[in-house]
């Protein structure tokens, strides 16, 4: 618990320091800050590029599912991506503690939909799928039973 609190404090502090530095930079050179810094803010925090509609299914064209029957051999990680410019999206699936059961990173261009097939032995239990676009973007919990 102490580690989580410390991590949150460090992240908040670093964000505050970045904001102060950006404000000072903007005061000293407002034209440059507008042209260089603001697109970075909008690109990384407003959602462009972005990942949406992350879900699991039993096929690429299948419905969103959070429960799979025991004996399932393949699951599919499906998501939409928007305005990518060679950006890396990483998908990790966890069953229990690290390391992940599945870990795949790929660079994407443009806008589209991705369906990643993950096959293997899926014992009964809860799973966590994380999708990262530089940082944790989306998560979904699902189970096999």
The encoded tokens of residue 23 equal: 């404000």
Same domain, 76 and 102: yes
Nearest to 131 by CA among 141, 121, 123, 122: 141
Same domain, 126 and 101: yes
Report pLDDT for 25. Answer: 41
In this structure, of 18-32, 48-62, 99-113, 121-135, the range with the lowest mean pLDDT score is 18-32
Same domain, 81 and 93: yes
In which band, very low, low, confident or very high, does the pLDDT at 30 lie, cut at 50, 70 and 90? Answer: very low
- Whether residue 47 contacts residue 82, with contact meaning beta carbons closer than 8 Å, is answered with yes
CATH number at residue 91: 2.70.50.60
Report pLDDT for 48. Answer: 62
Greatest alpha-carbon pair distance for the chain in Å reads 62
Confidence check: pLDDT of 88 > 90? yes
Work out how many domains the chain is built from and give that number. 2
Same domain, 54 and 31: no
- Whether residue 77 contacts residue 116, with contact meaning beta carbons closer than 8 Å, is answered with yes
Same domain, 69 and 108: yes
Same domain, 132 and 69: yes
- Averaged confidence pLDDT in the chain: 79
Which domain does 73 fall in, by range? 50-144
Same domain, 94 and 29: no
Same domain, 55 and 36: no
The encoded tokens of residue 17 equal: 């320091």
Report pLDDT for 36. Answer: 40
Confidence check: pLDDT of 120 > 70? yes
Q: CA-CA distance, 53 to 89, in Å (whole number)?
A: 14
Dump pLDDT digits (tens) for 31-83: 443 334 344 444 444 446 899 999 999 999 999 999 999 999 999 999 999 99
């Amino acid at each position: 618990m102490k580690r989580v609190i410390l991590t949150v404090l460090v992240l908040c502090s670093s964000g505050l320091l970045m904001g102060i530095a950006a404000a000072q930079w903007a005061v000293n050179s407002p034209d440059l800050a507008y042209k260089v810094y603001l697109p970075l803010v909008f690109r990384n925090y407003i959602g462009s590029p972005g990942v949406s509609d992350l879900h699991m299914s039993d096929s690429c064209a299948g419905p969103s599912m959070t429960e799979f029957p025991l004996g399932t051999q393949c699951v599919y990680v499906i998501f939409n991506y928007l305005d990518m410019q060679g950006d890396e999206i990483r998908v990790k699936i966890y069953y229990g503690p690290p390391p992940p059961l599945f870990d795949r990173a790929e660079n994407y261009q443009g806008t589209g939909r991705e369906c990643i097939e993950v096959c293997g032995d899926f014992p009964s239990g809860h799973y966590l799928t994380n999708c990262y676009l530089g940082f944790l973007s989306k998560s979904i919990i699902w189970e096999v039973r």
